[in-house]
Amino acid sequence: MTPRRTADPEPAPVWERPEPPARRTPHPLSRELIVGAALELADADGLDGVSIRRVAAALEVGPMRLYGYVDTKSELLDLMADAVYAEIVPPAPAAGRPPLDWRAGLRLIAALTRRAALRHEWFPELLGGRPHVGPHALAALEAKLAALNSAPNLAGRPAELRRAAAAFQSYLVGSLRTELSERQADRAEGRSEEQWRDANSPYLRRVVAAGRHPLLAELIVEGEHPAPAEEFEAGLEIVLDGIAALVS
């Protein structure tokens, strides 16, 4: 009778795995250097521009030298995302000053997230799937939960806290992906959103003149097109109002 083979143990996550010993070489390596090179590639060419081979070439080493620091591209993307989360963790309140109230705290986190996403346009592509569990990602999540937990009547209600956090995160991911998609379309087409609207305005006016889209007609006639930052902040206030209604 053949004994049953036990499953191989799961490898330690990259966050808990030590780096290979330092080597005397003209091109030293570290996870920090590897992630820095990967960030530069992604900022320039998007996630499609990131590979173990391209990162190694940027660091002037062979691809095999990167293994041990990172074993897969998935690990590399996790490390890159965590580096961006470091830009989202809000600073601690200055000594002697009280923490921000829950709405101001969430506004700050939203502003930091948007600023990081505009700097690293690939970052929102990594959001919305499985949660990130790197140290900076967990610190950013804890800051978000702490802000929400300070809302009246939300402390001690984990189910409502989870729903509020999910709604807040969904708004950030959706709105930032939309804004960045428009920016990328502007670059790809070589024309601004305003130029796109001007080109399509005659057609849309003919369509709404038929009377089948009265609400759309109101929006077109109104003609208001707020800046992306204003649109982002206005939508955020609607989400915060919804959270306030949840806990009232």
Q: How remote is the C-alpha of 221 from its chain's centroid?
A: 34
**Ordered alpha helix ranges (H), 10-150:** 31-45, 52-58, 73-85, 102-119, 135-149
Residue 175: helix, strand or coil by DSSP?
A: helix
Query: Which pLDDT does position 5 carry in this prediction?
Result: 58
Asked if 17 contacts 79 with a C-beta cutoff of 8 angstroms, the reply is no
Angle at 129 between CA 102 and CA 113, to 5 degrees: 40
What distance in Å separates the CA atoms of residue 206 and residue 132, rounded to the nearest whole number?
47
Of the candidates 131, 230, 114, 119, the one whose C-alpha atom is nearest the C-alpha of residue 173 is 114
Q: What is the pTM of this model?
A: 0.86
Q: pLDDT tens, position by position, for the chain (248 residues)? A: 555 555 566 778 899 999 988 777 778 899 999 999 999 999 999 999 999 999 999 999 999 999 989 999 999 999 999 999 999 999 987 777 877 899 999 999 999 999 999 999 999 999 977 889 999 999 999 999 999 999 888 888 899 999 999 999 999 999 999 999 988 887 878 777 777 777 777 787 787 777 788 887 777 777 677 889 999 999 999 999 999 988 77
